[in-house]
Structures are given as C-alpha cells and as structure tokens.
Structure 1
Amino acid sequence: CCIDIPDVPAETVYDVLHDTEYRRKWDMSVIETHDIAQLTANADVGYYAWKCPKPLKNRDVVTLRSWQVLDKSYIIISFSVKHPQYPPRKDLVRAVSILAGYLVCSTGSNSCTLTYLAQVDPKGSLPKWVVSKASQYLAPKMMKKIHKACLKYPSWKQQHNAGTKPWLHPEQNKLPTMVLSELALQHAASLEDIDES
C-alpha cells in the first residue's frame, strides 16, 4: 500500500512509526506494545498485541525490527522472532510477521510518500481468502490513521519527552541489550492453528 502525504515531512512520519508511546494514543487496536531489548544501534526486539473484531481472538507478535536513515528516505523492516521470555499466551493467537516494513521518501520540505508492506500470517483458523480480502480494506485504513496521527504528532511530542528519539539518537536508548543468538526465527509453519469457531 502506498500513499502520498502532502502536508507532513518524511522525518515526522518516521518518528510516528517508531514512537511506541505515541502509538498507544492514536492506534485504538493496541492492547499492549513495548520495546523489549536493543540488539544494535539500529535494531531492536519488540512486542505488539492488538484487538481483532469479534468473534476472532486477539493477536500478538514478537518482532525483530531494524531501521536505516538514507539521504531522503527512511526504512523500517521487521519480522517475527521467538524470544525466550515471550512465549505465546493462552489468551491471544500468536501471529507471524513473515516480512513487514515501511519506506518513507521525502518529496519536498513538507511532503512525502509512505509505502507499507506486510506479509503476515494471522494464524488461527481464518481462511486465506478472508485474510486477503480484509487486508485490502485494513491496510489503506491504517495508512489514513497514520497520516492523521502524523498531523498531531509535533504538538503531542512537545509535551511528551520532546528531545527523546532513540531511533535517531542511539545514546538515548535505555533498553537492555541482548545478543541475536538468544532469538530464533519464527516460522509460520511452527505454530498451531487455533480453532476460532
């Protein structure tokens, strides 16, 4: 999914995509989200749980995320991992993010394009055609939410740790560090499908 954002600079969109504290404010589907540990200056591990429409069970995911700032572009890529302290929970279905990412490209001093890629297996007993159909509706809806959140972010950030952006300033990162060997790749086939009928 790709949208043109005519009234927000690329830097702001990139900040919104990283700021988990702000995400709790604008993303109403969030149950819980937080960063777990830092792997390198531009990679971390995080947890995200979200609400699904009834009668479906809610989902969660543990991801390894990395990011890179290029000349006028910002890239965030993530995929599912197994973390020894975050096993699947009984009250949630553990989804698998095969590959997800954002590309933010500046198109002017106050405009940009945002491209979103998500290859996700929500697990459970959802038929593939339902997942494909839902994504055609949900991805554009999410992009519009992100755009609205970006418009409000500068004023919100002024009142909430204005100078703290560890994704741009690694020295501000207070997360515990962990080594990559403590994680394992989460394959979609390695989780049981849960009957949601």
Structure 2
Amino acid sequence: MSERPSILPTENAFEDFKKQCLATENWLNKYDNNGMQVWIEVPENRGNNSPKVHKIKCKMTIKDVSAATMYDVIHDGQYRKNWDPNMLESYDIARLSDNADVGYYSWSCPKPIKNRDVVTLRSWRVMGDEYIIINFSVKHPKYPPQGHLVRAVSLLTGYFIKPTGLNSCTFIYLSQADPKGSLPKWVVNKASQVLAPRVMKCVHKAGQNYPAWKQQNSPDLKPWLYPEKSNLPMMDPAELSIQRADSLQNVDESSKKDALESEDSS
C-alpha cells in the first residue's frame, strides 16, 4: 500500500505561487494608486466550473523598507498584535518542519456579520534574494470550528517579496479565500478589492516601525530564520488534512450584506 503524499508544499508549489504573483495574463487591474495595485484573476471560461471566489493580488512598491524586514514582519506573530487592526486572536500551534508550521487566526468582520477564523498550514522559502510565504487551510483534530465564529477557508494565500535595493522592495500579496457563510459572492469579491489596499498600508507602516520594536522585543528570536530557536512542539504533518470549503456548514448571513456594502462606500 503506497503512503499518502505529504501535505507539505513541494518546491513546485513555491514556483507556481511565484509565477502567479508575477503573471499579468488573465489578471484584471481594479486599483492603481500611489505605488499600490490590486488585480483580480479572470479565469479562462470554464462555465459552471469557474471559481465563485476571486483570486486577488495586491502589489506594493516599498521605497523605505528592506525585503528582509518585510519578511520578518509577516512572520512575527508577537508583532502582529501591534499592526493588525482586524485580528482577534492569533497563535502558532506546532512546527511541522524547519520551514512549516500550523497556526490559528481569527478576525473581526463588519457588524452584524459574524467574525471568522482559520487554521492554516504555513510554509516558507528564501530562494536567492526572494522571499516566499504560502498558506492554506487544514483540519486540525484539536481545533474544530467554534459556534461563535464562522470557519473560513484559505484555498491559497501568500506573499512574494523581492528587493529592489538595500532598503526597498516589491511586496506582493495573493489570496484566494472563501469566507463561508452565505454572503453573496459578489459582495465578498467587492469587499476584498476595497479592503486589500487598507491592509497593505497597515503592513507597510508595520515594516517601517518593526526594526525599532524588534530591538526591544527578543531581537535574536527569529525562528523562521533559525528553526533551532523555535519553542513550538513538533507535530507530524500526517495528522493534518486539507480543509475543503464544501465540508463546512454555511451560516445564513444573506440579510447582512448591507454591512459590507456600507464598508465599500466608506
């Protein structure tokens, strides 16, 4: 009997993610202002098989923060509390390998929509001068969906960061995520296009402030660069399975779409 293939991303997964980050064909520009652009993928016509939730890509030209610093900002869970205005709770659960872990994240949504959470497998690579982080939703036996939160699904989310100078970089965020519930998909897609630039601005500011903060907060602790310094327990990746969106219960929020529409106009 053959072994089940590992859930951990392969080199090909990182290469494919990079290609998507740099691709322009089949991507439609929805926002372009002040060094920031937002695109949505326009899939080739597959009829009823076309995904209902857009793949979204944000590119930011950063002129005052290094690629290495932005990479640290995305990894540093302790620092996230300082810059992420939507975060309710976030923590790492376990290590899966030197460059992969599993973690939990929950965030607030515009009222009266229910707040969301995810359990994701995150993996990362430094390839030459390029930094890549990707994550996708998994089922963890000890972290099932909770009643007061809607379990969302990251099909693929990640970052591609490349230096353009000693203290400048290109920063790309790509995501295809299903927030679940029964909000109309057009509302989800519209909101993601509006909210993405706001989040990117927060991340940029976080990068500007990170070196000074890190100097005061465990400056030598960067387990994403030095895995031997990690204090997380090890976990066998075989205990995890990919979280499929269709296996989660839909929560009826169809009467609550006005909250996202007003968010769009703000």
Band the TM-score falls in, shorter-chain normalisation: over 0.9
Q: 2:117 aligns with which of 48, 60, 63?
A: 60
Partner of 1:16: 73
Deviation at 1:141, TM superposition (A): 1.1
Gaps of 5+ in 2: 1-57, 256-266
Deviation at 1:134, TM superposition (A): 0.4
Q: Secondary structure at the match of 1:136?
A: helix
Q: Report whether the alignment pairs 1:155 with 2:212.
A: yes
Match for 2:213: what amino acid? W
Q: 1:170 aligns with which of 203, 220, 227?
A: 227
Gaps of 5+ in 1: none
Deviation at 1:74, TM superposition (A): 0.3
Deviation at 1:180, TM superposition (A): 1.0
Higher relative CO (Cα under 8 Å, sequence separation at least 6) belongs to: 1
Q: How does 1:1-197 map to 2 (within 5 A)?
A: 1-196=58-253, 197=255
Residues 140-165 of structure 1 show CA distances to partners (whole Å, capped at 9, x for unaligned) of: 11111100010000000011101100
Match for 1:100: what amino acid? T
Deviation at 1:112, TM superposition (A): 0.2
Structure 1 segments, 4+ long, off by >4 Å, are none
Residues 48-94 of structure 1 show CA distances to partners (whole Å, capped at 9, x for unaligned) of: 00000001000000000000011111000000000001000011000
Q: Secondary structure at the match of 2:141?
A: coil
TM-score, length of structure 1 as denominator length: 0.99
Deviation at 1:108, TM superposition (A): 0.4
Give the CA RMSD over aligned residues: 0.6
| Structure whose CA Rg is larger | 2
State the identity %.
62
Separation of aligned partners in 2, 1:164 and 1:173: 8
Deviation at 1:136, TM superposition (A): 0.6
Match for 1:26: what amino acid? W
Match for 1:92: what amino acid? L
Residues 97-141 of structure 1 show CA distances to partners (whole Å, capped at 9, x for unaligned) of: 000010000100000011000100000111100011001111111
Matched residue count? 197
TM-score, length of structure 2 as denominator length: 0.73
Q: Secondary structure at the match of 2:228?
A: helix
